Every structure is written in structure tokens, then in C-alpha cells.
Amino acid sequence: MKKVFNFSAGPAILPTEVFEQTADACRSFSKSGLSILEMSHRSKEIIAVMDEAIALVKELLGVPQGYQVLFLQGGASLQFSMVPYNLLPQTGKAVYIDTGVWAKKASKEAKLFGDVVVAASSSDKNYNYLPGIPQNLPADAVYCHVTSNNTIFGTQMSHFPKISLPYVADMSSDIFSRPIDVSQFGLIYAGAQKNLACAGTTLVIVREDLLGKAGRTIPSMLDYKIHIEGESMFNTPPVISIYVSLLTLRWLKKTGGLVALEQHNKAKAGKLYDAIDNSKLFTGTANKADRSLMNVTFVTQTPELEEAFLALAKERGLDGLKGHRSVGGFRASIYNAMPMEGIDALVSALQDFDRAHA
Ligand code: PMP
């Protein structure tokens, strides 16, 4: 079968060995003769999967004491409400930084629970840059919400400036792509279906001392404390998505951990951005200083050229390159599992297209 590289924003490419090991586990898991799809989440095999996945998250990210790691459901979208439900008192305030569609959705939900201060926004330029985080944040706010990587607009925070509040970060599209200092964060969340696994689970890392202060009754399924007590098994967890997470985490560790990965991600993105910048027909859409290492957004000059490039890409086995409707053009999502070989194939296609049509 022809090799196809998946540049889709998510569900996304995963390491080939993860696909293979998952297929094996679907046939028979851990010599049990049972498929992982039919095994009880209370079995010793699945409890071991959960324990190892949590331990690897802690190890790879260097999660300090006082934090809990959870595998939940509902996607990153449920975290838009769960975060303020649990952390934002009715009479309290939270800061949101508006850097794109997902950030806006997060702040919209938070407004149902308390006072939301949008301290900075880049909506004036269709979110093609990062507005920065003001230093004079309200002292009475409980957290500052950021989207570390804006999947749609191709911008990414290169670092997290020191501020007076704990960050709450949506890291759905760049978790595990680089080392971070978890102690700067009150809470981190990420839907699995980009850098971690198939859709189904959502990773949450929460500083436990922030919980129990919102002063409201929280329905059990939305209460982080209940999930902590239940060790992410308050109800039946999405076992297959957690198992795929575990396989990806093992691969991350084997590949050299997050420092090595960040270097590789920089090399991949650098090569692709260079090809775009050196072309006549393609232009990157994000402000150069804010460019994402995960989602590379670019456009060409006419709808005809756009169609023609997508046709060439398809012919060459480069899938999922059509840009999101709010930016147009193209988006190459080059998450951790995208090999350099995929970048080289895309760069060749860009260069050949440029030569043929410019
Ligand atoms: N946040 C970001 C940054 C995303 O990229 C996405 C999905 N593309 C979401 C949130 C929504 O995630 P989910 O579909 O898991 O709710």
C-alpha cells in the first residue's frame, strides 16, 4: 500500500509502532486471550495500564508533588466548563487571553460561572499573532487561561512569562511537544487526539490545593475531586484511548523524552517554514515570531492554485492539508509523530509546485 502522511489537525498521526501495538491488543491483550476492547476496567491488566500511563505523564513532564494526573472524558471542550465550574467562585474573577477560536469558546463557557476578564486579544488581525500577556493582571483573579498552541491559526506560545496568577492552559495541540515547567500551572488540559492518542480521553493535570474553593455544588462527573478519589475510574473510562496514550508515552520516553523531541520538532518546523518563505507562491499566515511548531498555516495566491496544490499533494500521499475555513489555504499539522520523511515529502511537493507554476 502507498505510504500516506497524515497532516490532519486531529485526530492525527501517531507513531507507526503505536498503531501496530494497538492492533495486537485488540486481538489479545497481555496474553489474556481477551481483546482490550472487552476487558473490565477493574481488571489488574487495565489498572496497570492506567497506573503506568499516569506515572509516565508525571515522569516525562516532571510533574511536581501536589498535582494530580487524570484521564477524563468529554474532550478539551468539556474542560472549558469544568475548569471554571471547579476553580472560579461565583463572585470571583478569571483572566482569559483570547488567541483564537478555542480560547474564545473557553471564555464563553467561563462566563456562565463568574466574572471573566479578557486581558488581551488578537481578534483584530484574525488571530495571526499572539497579543502577549499584560503584567497588570487583576490581583483578585484566580487564574489566567491561555491556549498554548492555537491549532487553527498556527500560533504557539514559545514560553510562559512569569505572572502573578497560576496559568490554566489548554495544551490540546502541543502537549508533550517540549519540556514545560508544570509548577507555573494551576491546571493543564489536553484532548488526546493530537499528540497523545485516539479521541476518547482528555488529560488533566491539576494542582490539588486549588480545588474545593469555588463554593458551589458540583455534579459528580464534573468534579475533579471525585475523579481524583476514583483514580480516573469513577465511571468506566475510555480504556482504548488510555492504552494508546500509554503506548505513545512509552514511545516518547524511548525517543529520548521531551528535550530531544523539542529539538526534532524545531528542525521539522524550521525546514517547512524555510520552504514556504523561499517559495514564490506560498505565504505563511502567522506572525513569524509566534509561529507554531505543530500547525503550519500557509496560503497561495488563487483558488485555482489552491485546488491544484491539493491535487498534487493527494497524488503524492500527503493527506489532510486543507486549511481550516477561518484561515483558508493550507495547514500542515506536524505533531510529534510526523517523521522528517513526511516533512521532506511536503517540502519537495511545495518546491516542485513552485517551479511548475510560478
Ligand atoms: N482546544 C484546542 C487547542 C483544540 O485544537 C481543540 C480541537 N481541535 C479543542 C480545544 C477541542 O477539543 P475536543 O474536540 O477534544 O473537545
Which atom of ligand 1 is closest in space to residue 149's alpha carbon? 3
Report the 10 Å Cβ neighbour count for 222.
15
Determine the atom of ligand 1 nearest the C-alpha atom of 78. Answer: 16
For residue 39, the model assigns a pLDDT of 97
Looking at the CA of residue 77, tell me the nearest atom of ligand 1: 16
* pLDDT band, residue 282 (cuts 50/70/90): very high
- For the domain 257-357, what is the CATH superfamily, name and number? Aspartate Aminotransferase, domain 1 (3.90.1150.10)
pLDDT at 286: 98
Contact 105, 80 (CB under 8 A): yes
Q: Where are the beta strands (DSSP E) in the chain?
A: 5-6, 67-72, 93-98, 115-121, 141-147, 149-150, 155-156, 167-170, 185-191, 202-207, 283-284, 295-299, 318-319, 330-333
For a mutational test of ligand 1's pocket, the pick from 173, 188, 325, i.e. the residue with the most ligand atoms closer than 8 A to its C-beta, is 173
Give the C-alpha separation, 293 to 268, whole Å: 8
User: Which residues, in sequence order, are CB contacts of 329 under 8 Å at separation 6+?
Assistant: 285, 297, 298, 299, 300, 306, 323
- pLDDT value at 90 more than 90: no
With the most atoms of ligand 1 within 8 angstroms of its CB, the residue from 71, 172, 174, 335 to mutate is: 172
Nearest ligand 1 atom to the CA of 100 is 3
User: What value does the mean pLDDT take over residues 221-246?
Assistant: 98
- pLDDT (0 to 100) of residue 358: 86
For 23-66, what is each residue's pLDDT tens digit? 999 999 998 999 999 999 999 999 999 999 999 999 999 999 99
| Minimal-distance CA residue to ligand 1 atom 2 | 172
Domain-wise residue ranges, the chain: 16-254, 257-357
Q: How many angstroms separate the alpha carbon of residue 197 from the centre of ligand 1?
A: 13
Distance between Cα 279 and ligand 1 center (Å): 31
pTM of the model: 0.98
What residue ranges line ligand 1, CB within 6 angstroms? Answer: 10, 75-77, 102, 147, 151, 170, 172-173, 191
Task: Work out the pLDDT band at 115, boundaries 50, 70, 90.
Answer: very high
Residue 44 CB neighbour total at 10 angstroms: 9
Ligand 1 centroid–CA 73 distance in Å is 13
Domains 16-254 and 257-357 share a fold: no
What are the pLDDT digits (tens) for 167-216? 999 999 999 999 999 999 999 999 999 999 999 999 999 999 999 999 99
Ordered DSSP codes for 125-174: GTT-S-----S---TTEEEEEEESEETTTTEE-SS----SS-EEEE-TTT
CA gap 76, 206 in Å, rounded: 14
| Ligand 1 atom 15, closest CA | 75
Q: How far is the CA of 75 from the centre of ligand 1 (A)?
A: 7
Give pLDDT tens digits for 136-176. Answer: 999 999 999 999 999 999 999 999 999 999 999 999 999 99
Average pLDDT of span 114-139: 96
The third-level CATH classification (topology) of the domain covering 16-254 is Aspartate Aminotransferase; domain 2 (3.40.640)
Could you tell me the pLDDT band of residue 1, with boundaries at 50, 70 and 90? confident
Mutating to test ligand 1, I would choose from 107, 149, 151 the residue with most ligand atoms within 8 A of its C-beta, which is 151
**Pair 174, 195: CB distance under 8 Å:** yes
CA of 68 to the centre of ligand 1 (A): 21
Residues designated catalytic: 102, 170, 194
Scored b (16 or more CB within 10 A) or e, 186-200 reads: bbbbbbbbbbbbbbb
Quick one: what percent of the chain has pLDDT higher than 70?
A: 100
